[in-house]
Amino acid sequence: MYEHKKRHGVLERRDLLAGMALEVFHKDETLEMRMKLVGKSCRLFFSHDPVKIIRARGQYLYDEKGMQYLDCISNVQHVGHCHPSITKAAAAQMDLLNANTRFLHDNIVQYAKRLAATLPKKLCVFYFVNSGSEANDLALRLARQYTQHQDVIVLDHAYHGHLTSLIDISPYKFRKLEGQKDWVHVAPLPDIYHGIYREDHPNPGQAYSDALKSIIEEVHKKGRKVSAFFAESLPSVGGQIIFPSGYCKKIAEYVHEAGAVYVADEVQTGFGRVGSHFWGFQLQGEDFCPDIVTMGKPMGNGHPLACVVTTEEIAGAFTANGVEYFNTFGGNPVSCAIGLAVLDVIENEDLRGNALRVGGHLRHLLSQLQTKHLIIGDVRGVGLFIGMELVKDRVSRQPATEEAAQLVRRLKEERIVMSTDGPWESVIKFKPPMCFSMEDADRVAMCIDQILTELENV
C-alpha cells in the first residue's frame, strides 16, 4: 500500500504500512547523484547496470519495481535479511538504553560469555569494535605489544581490511598501490588447485607450512622479528580456499617457535557458516587454536559489530602498557543485544545444520555440472562457503575470468545475485544468508547449467 507525495520538490513513494519512504528518487536520479556525491572508488555491484534494492527479507532482495532477486552473496545478513528477531531486539534495546561503554551493563558480559562458549577455553578475553578492519588493526596492536616484534607474515592475495595498517598487510590491495612494506612478508596461498603444491602432492599441508618456515628464516637472517602470522581461516578473497589438513597446526608451531602469534581472521568465515563447526579454524582439528581471533561481518547481521578475542596472557601484555583502550561504540548495549539475538537465531533455527544440508546439496549439484561443463575446473567448499572455479582448459587451469564475469551478468538477468573472487576473479563464490534453501540451491544450479550451455553454443 503506497501513497505518492512531493517532498523537497521530489516525488516520494511512501509505504503506508511501514510509514517509511521506500524510494525517494527514481533509479536514474539515485545513480546520477551517487556518481556526483559519493567517492567513485566506492564501487557498485553490476556497475554497468546497478541494481537498486529497497527492501529485503531472508535470502531475497527486492528492487524498486518489486522484482525479487535471490541473494547468493550477502554473508553479512547471516541469519537472513531483516530477520524479525534481530529487528525486535535492536528496537527494544534502542528504546531502553544505548550508552557509553564505560558504564557497567549486562549485555556486554552476557554476550562475551555466550561467545566464549563457542570458542576454545584459552580464548577468553574480548574487545568489542565496529568493523572487521578495526578488529584486525587491534589484533595487530595486541600481537606487537605482546611479542615486542614488528613484522607480519600474510598469505598471498589476502585482504584484512581498509585501514592504512591493513592495506599494508593485504597483498590483494598493496600490490595495486605503492607496494610492499619491508616489515611485511608474503607466504604462498595454500591453494591445492592453483598453488605451488597441488592435490597430487603427498602432503600439501606440510609443504605449504614449510614454505612459511623458510620465510621466517629469511626474516631472521635480515635481523628482523615476526610479531604475527595473519590468515583467514578459509581465504575468501583468495578464491574460497580450504586449507589442506594439518596446515594450521604446523604453521602455529613454526610461528610460536619464532616468538610470534597466530591471528585467525574469521570476519567472513565465523558464526557457523562452515556448518560442522562454529568457527572456520576448528576445521583444522581440536589440537589447533589460534592466539587471536577477529570476527565481524555476520556478527551483527548487518549492524556494525565486530570483535577481537585473545588469551589472558596477550590481553595482559596489552593492559600492562598502561594505555586505555577506549572504543566509543564497540560493545554498546544495542550492538550486544543484536549480537545475542543473532546467536539465538543461529541456534533456534539450526542454521548450522541448514548450512551443512543445503551447502552439501549445492556442492553436489555443482559437481554434477562439472561432469557436463568443461569450463568448471573445480568445485570446493564447506557448509555455505562454496567456490566454483572456471578455467579455459582443465590442463593449464588458465582462469576463465571473462566467462566468470559473463556468467555473473547472465545470472543477474535471471535475478540471481552472485559475484566472483580469487586472484583472477574466476571463482564464482557462494556465501548466501544461512537460511538459503534446497529450492534456492536447485534454482541456482539449474540457471548455471542453462547459462553455461548457452555460452558453449555461442
Q: Which residues bind ligand PMP (CB under 6 A)?
A: 131-133, 136, 159-162, 232, 236, 265, 267-268, 296
**CB contact set of 149 (below 8 Å; sequence gap of 6+):** 225, 226, 227, 259, 260
Tally of residues, the chain: 458
Largest CA distance in the chain: 71
**What minimum distance in Å lies between the beta carbon of 392 and ligand PMP?**
27
**CB contact set of 202 (below 8 Å; sequence gap of 6+):** none
Instruction: Report how far apart, in Å, the C-alpha atoms of 210 and of each of 68, 81, 196, 250, 435 are.
Output: 49, 43, 12, 8, 39
Toward ligand PMP, which CB reaches closer, 189 or 365? 189
* Phi/psi-derived region of residue 425, left when phi > 0, alpha when psi is between -120 and 50, beta in every other case: left
What single string gives the DSSP state of each residue in 41-76?
Answer: TS--TTTTS---EEEEEBTEEEETT--EEEESS--S
- Helix, coil or strand: residue 191: coil
Sheet bearing 10-15, strands edge to edge? 2-7, 10-15, 20-23
Q: Cell for 267?
A: 570476519
Count Cα neighbours of 395 within 13 Å in the Cβ-side half-sphere: 0
Toward ligand PMP, which CB reaches closer, 197 or 385? 385
Toward ligand PMP, which CB reaches closer, 135 or 215? 135
**What minimum distance in Å lies between the beta carbon of 417 and ligand PMP?**
17
The residue among 45, 66, 47, 48 whose CA lies nearest residue 57 is 66
The residue among 128, 138, 133 whose CA lies nearest residue 340 is 128
